[in-house]
Structure 1
């Protein structure tokens, strides 16, 4: 029998980007999750996930189904959650690694003062949608391109880009850098949540790239002298790390930042959150 559990499994795979990562997040075995996905596809009579490529991708039918599934699962969760009827239900704000950066403490202080009966919970979720596609959070701070279908977005103030380089290196001694200064280095890219892509550099002048799976791995690799990175200014304020120096990057467009949420909202306090975030970190 196919039920909502199969739909949630599909959304977890779509959010995580691989069956392995989704299985770890759901705390089930990879073979079991693969079987669950296959049963959903057999029930629908269509393939949702293209497994023929090196990186898992949704088929056109899968992308369309995901958009519908996100809305439906959020609605069901709201109907089944007794706490959703009360203002004391926590409001969950997702983020991939830095929340609102330097504005985060102010957001938490002001929210607590204005809404003492509705806790605001920050939830870090690896993935481009920071938990929003799977219904793990009610709203999410997303940097770079928004890759979550069927959501409403509010533009926040863009963030300057920085180079993250090994402390003590010649690059760390510079007052600023350019992308060209990094061409001779290996650039670490977070495949799950990062905003840096090879497209930042011209096609004929790109540095070597190495892929990591998390912000922690990214920081450790740079601190060990194995790579450099490009990131947003919020990272420097939230992720100070021994052995990593952050240097301003000249000549690079700032990184767009968005507050994203479902429509209709999955929590009655989302409009109040949007208003406050706009006031604190609006464009």
Structure 2
């Protein structure tokens, strides 16, 4: 795609090349590597970065270390730049003239047992708008980056610029190796888990050590960055994990056992989308998700 789209702000014209340049710097963590990736000279890319920072009137990149780090403002601009590029690419994709897919992201477990009924009902009621279900290992399942139009998320959603709709709540479950001593218990407590290492998904998980009192926390934590790594660590007997009631139907394995967690609060499940203009079918998705959950008889009310 040619970088010929321009947005004029004050005395500077922002072009797609500025966004691509900044994102390359953010991903590479190094101006020289980013310049090579973009087939530009290092001085030219450095000038582009300065132009962007002058436009915003603030530093977007911390240059105090060899490996460049984004400032808080830089991280915000990175997410907005990703969303803007994704929107432009979607708008200019010739395939989009025939149909405009609604991209629904999730970091794990989607809508649990309601996932398949949702997809089937959507295909029946909205045949002209494909619903694409995408798993993306990210706190907002790619929503803030523009990779999806809406996302199914669990736990508190703190990202700015998002609207959310509470769908339901899910009870927590403990995930453990089938040969774990905890598997003999009908229900497990947080105190029962304190003698075991805990697998924590630091990217999209809903479990932190703050669930336990400071004086009664588990002996160790194994940090992973996605659901696959989390499941492997547990199946290998290296740790136990805490998830929600949606996980057993999506991640069954003969090496894993699931038990209810008796003394932890339920987890809210929300549908999130970006504020402002978005995919026109999002209101239809919100309505249909509620209908599917109600028809399936969710364990907890959504409102």
Partner of 2:42: none
Partner of 2:11: none
* Contact 1:176/1:250 (<8 A) preserved: yes
Which of 200-209 and 182-191 deviates more? Answer: 200-209
Partner of 1:26: none
Partner of 1:260: 272
Q: Distance in 1 between matches of 2:127 and 2:276?
A: 24
Partner of 2:109: 98
- Identify the match of residue 173 of structure 1 among 178, 181, 184: 184
- Identify the match of residue 132 of structure 2 among 121, 124, 137: 121
More relative contact order in 1 or in 2 (CA 8 Å, sep 6+)? 1
Q: Distance in 2 between matches of 1:13 and 1:161?
A: 40
Partner of 2:88: 76
Aligned-residue offset at 1:203: 1.5
Aligned-residue offset at 1:199: 1.0
Residue-by-residue CA offset, 1:1-49 (whole Å, 9 max, x unaligned): 97435536867999xxxx47xx9xxxxxx94399889776533323335
Give the number of the structure whose alpha-carbon radius of gyration is greater: 2
Residue 44 (structure 1) aligned with residue 52 (structure 2): yes
Q: Distance in 2 between matches of 1:218 and 1:8?
A: 33
Aligned-residue offset at 1:167: 0.5
For structure 2, the 5+ residue unaligned runs are 4-13, 39-44, 294-300
SS at match of 1:193: coil
TM-score where L is the length of structure 2? 0.76
Residue 235 (structure 1) aligned with residue 247 (structure 2): yes
* Contact 1:84/1:267 (<8 A) preserved: no
* Contact 2:149/2:278 (<8 A) preserved: yes
Cα 1:216–1:40 change in 2 (3 A) is: farther
Q: CA RMSD in A?
A: 3.3
* Contact 1:160/1:254 (<8 A) preserved: yes
Residue 220 (structure 1) aligned with residue 232 (structure 2): yes
Residue 244 (structure 1) aligned with residue 252 (structure 2): no
TM-score where L is the length of structure 1? 0.81
For structure 1, the 5+ residue unaligned runs are 24-29
Q: Distance in 1 between matches of 2:81 and 2:189?
A: 42
What is the aligned residue count? 269
Partner of 2:10: none
Cα 1:101–1:67 change in 2 (3 A) is: same
Partner of 2:212: 201
